[in-house]
Amino acid sequence: MQEYWELYMKNLEGKPASILFNAGISMEVEALRYVYPIVAFVKVKLQEPKENGLLSDEEQPEIGFLEDKLEASMIKFRIGKYVGRVISDGYVTFLYYLQFTYNWQDFLNFALDEFEHYEITSGFQNDEEWNYYKKLLFPTPKEWQIIQNHKVCDQLRAKEDTLQTPRAIEHKAFWVGDANLEAVKEALGAEGFGVLEEIENEEGVKGFSFYRIDKPFYTEIDEITMWLIDLLESHGASYDGWETSVVKG
């Protein structure tokens, strides 16, 4: 099982939620669900949450220690795998997929013996389809795009780019069904985009690149890409990200 973790924000039942999940296992789910068919949770009530219900800086070290103890216990008893964490509405919920449950209580006793001052609940149920991973932890296409947006923004900032200078931002899209390039050009052109050229990926899927002068700042690029995803899907195309040049100062 690969270890590759991603952290992002989403809305859960009208409230902000911080999601940490192991993205490295996403391509292995069909095999893993037969080995680990039971989803389990440990839910901890935060003692000093922020006003928005998320984890505060003051409480983060202890919750981090609790998380480490849970992981050490999971390894000790070898009953399953840690797949993600949800922080929302004043609670942090750790999620696992298990092979068996006969020593679940032993796992809890070992992990939580130092945290009696916390209000903690736990449980498990069958989830052979891994729906909690697929539908709760794993991001939607738009949420995944925001993750990628912020990675690019972070890379630009690391190179002393303030993200506030407008510059050409190039986007890519590939066809997923019947499509009309001229109709897409017209729709993009109406919003100030220029189509550069037709392209093709390694699998031979055809697409096109296009650009517009914009600021690559976090919130602004999120708004642009969310709009592009909707527009392109309505024309039989799939959005495939963006790139731009570094502008320092």
Quote the pTM value.
Answer: 0.86
Provide the domain limits for residue 118: 5-137
Is the CB of residue 52 less than 8 Å from the CB of residue 35? no
- Statement to judge: residues 94 and 132 lie in one domain: yes
**How does residue 65 score in pLDDT terms, banded at 50, 70 and 90?**
very high
CA distances from 104 to 29, 39, 111, 118, 228 (A): 22, 12, 11, 19, 46
pLDDT > 90 fraction of the chain, expressed in percent and rounded: 88
CATH at 213: 3.30.70.970
Tell me the per-residue pLDDT of 25-39, one tens digit each, with 9 for 90 and over.
999 999 999 999 999
123/146 same-domain check: no
Does 152 share its domain with 128?
no
Query: In this structure, is residue 185 part of a structural domain?
Result: yes
Last residue of a domain, one of 108, 137, 166: 137
Residue among 175, 237, 242, 190 at smallest CA distance from 215: 242
Domain final residue pick, 85, 102, 137:
137
Classify 229 as helix, strand or coil.
helix
- Residue 153 dihedral angles phi and psi, to the nearest 5°: -60, -40
Average pLDDT over the chain, rounded to an integer:
94
CATH (domain of 47)? 3.30.70
pLDDT band with cut points at 50, 70 and 90 for residue 1: low
Domain end (from 118, 137, 156): 137
Q: What is the pLDDT of residue 95?
A: 98
Q: Which H or E run includes 38?
A: strand 38-45
Q: How many domains does the chain have?
A: 2
Q: Which residues are CB-neighbours of 187 under 8 A, at least 6 positions away? A: 231, 235
